[in-house]
A and B are shown apart, each in its own frame.
Chain A
Amino acid sequence: MTQRIVITGMGIVCPIGHDVETMWDNLLAGRSGAAPTTIFDASTFPTTFGAEVKDYDLSRFINNPKLHEYGNRGSKFVLGASVQACQQAGIDVETDHPSDGIDRERMGIYLGAGEGSVDNDAFFAAIVKGWKNESNQMDWAGWAEVANAKMTPYRELEQEPNLPAGHIALLTGARGETRSCLTACAASTQAVGEAAMMIRHGRVDIMIAGGAHSMIHPLGVTGFNRLTALSTRNESPQTASRPFSATRDGFVLGEGAAIVILESLDSARKRGVPILAEITGFGSSNDAFRVTDMHEEARGAVQAMRAALKDAGVTPDQIDYISSHGTSTTENDSIETLAVKTVFQEYAVKTPISSPKSVFGHLIGATGCAELITCVLAIRDQILPPTMNLHDPDPALDLDYVPNKARKANVNCIMTESFGFGGQNNVLILKQFES
């Protein structure tokens, strides 16, 4: 016997809002979160801007932020997102004696979460001390002297990608199945998908699922810049993320956290909490092509989309809207368009598809769940978020990308897709809940 999977809570901390409604208002209005980088001095980098979470105050969400003071940016964001989601779903937080009636051993956590930044000052100072230019060798004693003196245990530990999940356990007391995964840009879609499968097959009743990530740090931006994956439209950060446009030149690096509460329908009914949407399908695949490029016929993307449709028992004509991966890189937007055409055939041009990344940037590990939340809101308000900055359409890309302006529409069933760097693809189907 399998369980239906419903969403009963949502929370987000992202560049265009530290709560769901603010994010949604800004997304529908197309108010970008991009601006010159302030987290570190990126003024000489190829890319000098990003979509940062600004003025974030964890004490707005929790009573005891001290308990999480060493948390990396992702950990702190995910705590805020989790509190919002738990409040909406009626789950008590920050207490050893919850009165919400939920069995903590039947409530788990599944995050697609990224690594924390290295401790930059200590990290670079140790290399400077140890490196011997003349011999091209590292004097490890010199390196270790600075590392031992400047690095701190907690800053080091907080670089581990599984720490955000640990913070959520401490916040909520959740003791059910717990996991953290990192399949690059597809991580939180995968986390939600696998968490949903745990509920469907009865391993747990409730999952706190989503993602958290910040790569807006010197080595993160270095890595992406070196791969020429980031937009370098430094003179105009707010128009830089322009998915599906002929003039797109890379993605805009964002950061944040997004959480949904997944629950078995039985559990949600028993607790009497409002149901926001239902997850009906999940598909995962591996491109198995190249770690640097997507398969030119979109093989992996197509396979994941078909697997999700099959899992949900729906056909392309029943999909009212596609929430795209839409990164604003030349390759993704072309291959993704091809994938949609391959799977949707004659329905491809009739199915609106848009990219929230045009507004809040690419939240990397957190992005899939952030986009899932926009899908739930699209169903709630019967409106599609726009693809902003789409003024010079790429003639080769001819789907309905909902350009530049949100649009009223009948939205019942949505596909949301994420394609991870390296080739891991994940797709979810969600629909308006009907008993």
Chain B
Amino acid sequence: MRSRRVVITGCGAITPLGINVPQTWNALLTGGCGIGKIKAFDPVGFSCKLAGEVGPYKFRDYLPKSYRKAAKLMSRDIELSIIASDEAIKDAGVTTQATDPNHITIQPERTAVQFGAGLISCDLLELAPSVAVSLTDGMFDIHKWGKAGIESLTPIWLLKYLPNMLACHVGIIHDIRGPSNSITCGEVGGHLAIAEAADVISRGSAEMALAGGCEAKVNPIVMIRQCLLKRATSASNDDPEGACRPFAADAAGSVFGEAAGVVVLEELESAQKRKAKIYAEIIGTGSSTNINPVYEHLEADGKGIEIAIKKAMGDAGIMPGDLDLIIPQGTGIPQDDAAEATAITRALGDVVESIPAWPIKSMMSHTGAAAGTLDVIAAIKAISESRIGPPKNCEKKAEGCRLKLTCQDQERPIRHALCCGYTFGGQTAAIVLKKLEGGS
């Protein structure tokens, strides 16, 4: 057991399923779907024309007046992280410089901010006019770029695209000055940011942390990359709702999207002292890596995931049979799903056949660095409300997959939940959550 126990007392999200946690959670419970034809740009020419996009939002509503001029420094990833942070802080029932400047309840120097962030791709529409003034005979000319091209770009261009800026802006808005990190582990950044923030609190470097993951993947560069890597499905452009099929026999690839998820972590005693609502305790975390020269896929036996799960379960000190819910990565990429299912089964044994597994990307889409945090949010909501939603698009389970993807009884006590994930490039993670005895 950790010397200082860490609990989750707040959550915030902006996702393809809703602009806050209640909307998102309701959609997950009812089998909603946030995937549709890409609106951000015309996807003609892209093998996958689908994405999970966040609906319209009024960003100014989430920015303190004094900080509105900084909006021009922000990419969409940063905007989403600010929106989800606002909800998480309010949900936790604490106040900051931004939410109530006359009555601040957080300790700025003892609060951490740790975000998983993606490789933020630049806005091509912003860059293109500068490229257009750098042509010779219709070809890009770096000599012209070095003068006219550079001069025509906004001076703060680079700042929008540095992945650490999510945590920096959120820190500025809420005056959070404790330890701060930006985990850039692709699609497992959301898990790892939470795991590290829990350690930061546990070791005494902070009392509270804002932790999560945010990524806006609906950018032509990101999308073409997923198409080129054949990770995005090209089989379902006419059937958005059926496109992402985790662990299913008829899966053909994933669908990518944008979202942010943020949780508030807190040392148990300080949370109890202020009578906070406690969603769940983080009792175990683990991470490892896949080893595969084909970096875009898992190794066939998913060994790196198996190790991460075993580490997290060992850290938690519980047995596989104690688990009541598994939220796996479940991308809909057949070979990765097969490897992940194998890894989960090897880590937990035969009991996987009786533990409900609830992959949510079929509804949410694959939101990159946000994905792990959204999984954790789904898990803590399931724990605190004692229910999960129906698995979507998993009716025909892939051969060999032993995960329990059909759950008849969706209202049931959930004492322990496991979230696990992985990314291209190798890193893996697992988090074990527990309902706090006595509740709150």
Q: Which A residues form the contact surface with B (CB < 8 A)? A: 40-46, 67, 105, 108-109, 113, 115, 124-125, 127-128, 130-131, 133, 136, 138, 140-145, 147-148, 151-153, 156-157, 159-163, 165-166, 169-170, 173-184, 190, 194, 197-198, 200-201, 203, 218-219, 222-228, 284-292, 299-300, 303, 307, 420-424
How many angstroms from the CA of A142 to the CA of B124 in the assembled complex?
13
User: Across the two chains, which residue of chain A brings its CB closest to B45?
Assistant: A144
Q: Write out the residue numbers on chain A whose beta carbons fall within 8 Å of the beta carbon of B113.
A: 286
Q: By the criterion CB–CB under 8 Å, are A165 and B289 in contact?
A: yes
How many angstroms from the CA of A173 to the CA of B289 in the assembled complex?
9
Q: By the criterion CB–CB under 8 Å, are B162 and A138 in contact?
A: no
Q: By the criterion CB–CB under 8 Å, are B180 and A183 in contact?
A: yes
Q: By the criterion CB–CB under 8 Å, are A160 and B119 in contact?
A: yes
Q: Write out the residue numbers on chain A whose beta carbons fall within 8 Å of the beta carbon of B129.
A: 131, 133, 136
Q: By the criterion CB–CB under 8 Å, are B146 and A44 in contact?
A: yes
A and B contact pairs by CB, cutoff 8 A, 26 listed: A42-B146, A113-B184, A125-B140, A128-B135, A152-B228, A153-B230, A157-B225, A157-B296, A160-B119, A161-B119, A162-B423, A169-B291, A174-B289, A177-B311, A179-B183, A179-B196, A180-B185, A181-B184, A190-B181, A194-B196, A222-B149, A226-B155, A284-B181, A291-B165, A303-B177, A421-B162
How many angstroms from the CA of A203 to the CA of B119 in the assembled complex?
28
How many angstroms from the CA of A152 to the CA of B227 in the assembled complex?
11
Q: By the criterion CB–CB under 8 Å, are A424 and B182 in contact?
A: yes
Q: By the criterion CB–CB under 8 Å, are B177 and A162 in contact?
A: no
Q: By the criterion CB–CB under 8 Å, are B224 and A147 in contact?
A: yes
User: Across the two chains, which residue of chain A brings its CB closest to B142?
Assistant: A41
Known A40-B142, A180-B185, A190-B181; judge A420-B164 contact (CB<8 A): yes
Q: By the criterion CB–CB under 8 Å, are A153 and B229 in contact?
A: yes
Q: By the criterion CB–CB under 8 Å, are B124 and A127 in contact?
A: yes
Q: By the criterion CB–CB under 8 Å, are A180 and B289 in contact?
A: no
User: Across the two chains, which residue of chain A brings its CB closest to B125?
Assistant: A138
Q: By the criterion CB–CB under 8 Å, are B172 and A288 in contact?
A: yes
Q: Write out the residue numbers on chain B whose beta carbons fall within 8 Å of the beta carbon of A175.
A: 288-289, 291, 303-304, 307
How many angstroms from the CA of A322 to the CA of B129 in the assembled complex?
45
How many angstroms from the CA of A152 to the CA of B295 in the assembled complex?
14
Q: Write out the residue numbers on chain A whose beta carbons fall within 8 Å of the beta carbon of B286.
A: 177
B300 on interface, CB distance cutoff 8 Å: no
Q: By the criterion CB–CB under 8 Å, are B131 and A178 in contact?
A: no
How many angstroms from the CA of A292 to the CA of B70 in the assembled complex?
10
Q: Write out the residue numbers on chain A whose beta carbons fall within 8 Å of the beta carbon of B184.
A: 113, 161-162, 180-182
Q: By the criterion CB–CB under 8 Å, are A162 and B426 in contact?
A: yes
Expressed in whole angstroms, the minimum distance between the Cβ of A101 and any Cβ of chain B is 19
How many angstroms from the CA of A391 to the CA of B154 in the assembled complex?
35
How many angstroms from the CA of A129 to the CA of B225 in the assembled complex?
18
Chain A interface: which of B36-44, B386-394, B431-439?
B36-44
Q: Write out the residue numbers on chain B whose beta carbons fall within 8 Å of the beta carbon of A140.
A: 41-46, 220
Expressed in whole angstroms, the minimum distance between the Cβ of B224 and any Cβ of chain A is 5
Q: By the criterion CB–CB under 8 Å, are B157 and A223 in contact?
A: yes
Q: Write out the residue numbers on chain B whose beta carbons fall within 8 Å of the beta carbon of A169.
A: 289-291, 426
Q: Write out the residue numbers on chain A whose beta carbons fall within 8 Å of the beta carbon of B311.
A: 105, 177, 203
How many angstroms from the CA of A3 to the CA of B165 in the assembled complex?
33
How many angstroms from the CA of A40 to the CA of B168 in the assembled complex?
31
Expressed in whole angstroms, the minimum distance between the Cβ of B57 and any Cβ of chain A is 22
How many angstroms from the CA of A159 to the CA of B202 in the assembled complex?
34
Q: By the criterion CB–CB under 8 Å, are B296 and A141 in contact?
A: no
Expressed in whole angstroms, the minimum distance between the Cβ of B173 and any Cβ of chain A is 9
Expressed in whole angstroms, the minimum distance between the Cβ of A133 and any Cβ of chain B is 5
Q: By the criterion CB–CB under 8 Å, are B185 and A162 in contact?
A: yes
User: Of A148, A165, A219, which one neighbours B45 at CB under 8 angstroms?
Assistant: A148
Q: Write out the residue numbers on chain A whose beta carbons fall within 8 Å of the beta carbon of B169.
A: 291
Q: Write out the residue numbers on chain B whose beta carbons fall within 8 Å of the beta carbon of A288.
A: 108, 171-172, 174-177
Known A182-B164, A222-B157; judge A284-B224 contact (CB<8 A): no
Chain B window 174-207, contacts with chain A (Cβ cutoff 8 Å), 1 for yes, 0 for no: 1111111111111000001000100100110100
User: Across the two chains, which residue of chain B brings its CB closest to A46?
Assistant: B150
Q: Which B residues from 123 to 169 make CB contacts under 8 A with A?
A: 124-125, 127-129, 131-132, 135, 138-140, 142-147, 149-150, 153-159, 161-165, 167-169
How many angstroms from the CA of A286 to the CA of B206 in the assembled complex?
12
Q: Write out the residue numbers on chain B whose beta carbons fall within 8 Å of the beta carbon of A225.
A: 150
How many angstroms from the CA of A148 to the CA of B44 in the assembled complex?
12
Q: By the criterion CB–CB under 8 Å, are A289 and B185 in contact?
A: no
How many angstroms from the CA of A138 to the CA of B43 in the assembled complex?
12
How many angstroms from the CA of A282 to the CA of B346 in the assembled complex?
37
User: Of B124, B199, B427, which one neighbours A197 at CB under 8 angstroms?
Assistant: B199
Counting chain B CB atoms within 10 Å of each CB, which of A148, A176, A300, A422 scores highest? A422
The 10 A-B pairs of least Cβ separation, nearest first, read A223-B158, A144-B45, A44-B146, A422-B168, A286-B180, A284-B179, A166-B426, A124-B140, A45-B146, A178-B289
Known A44-B143, A285-B177, A291-B169; judge A226-B289 contact (CB<8 A): no
Q: By the criterion CB–CB under 8 Å, are A287 and B177 in contact?
A: yes
Q: Write out the residue numbers on chain B whose beta carbons fall within 8 Å of the beta carbon of A173.
A: 291
Q: By the criterion CB–CB under 8 Å, are B42 and A141 in contact?
A: yes
Expressed in whole angstroms, the minimum distance between the Cβ of A120 and any Cβ of chain B is 8
How many angstroms from the CA of A152 to the CA of B229 in the assembled complex?
8
B109 on interface, CB distance cutoff 8 Å: yes
Counting chain B CB atoms within 10 Å of each CB, which of A113, A162, A303 scores highest? A162
Counting chain A CB atoms within 10 Å of each CB, which of B122, B167, B179 scores highest? B179
Q: By the criterion CB–CB under 8 Å, are A109 and B289 in contact?
A: yes
How many angstroms from the CA of A224 to the CA of B150 in the assembled complex?
10
Q: By the criterion CB–CB under 8 Å, are B287 and A177 in contact?
A: yes
Q: Write out the residue numbers on chain B whose beta carbons fall within 8 Å of the beta carbon of A184.
A: 162, 164
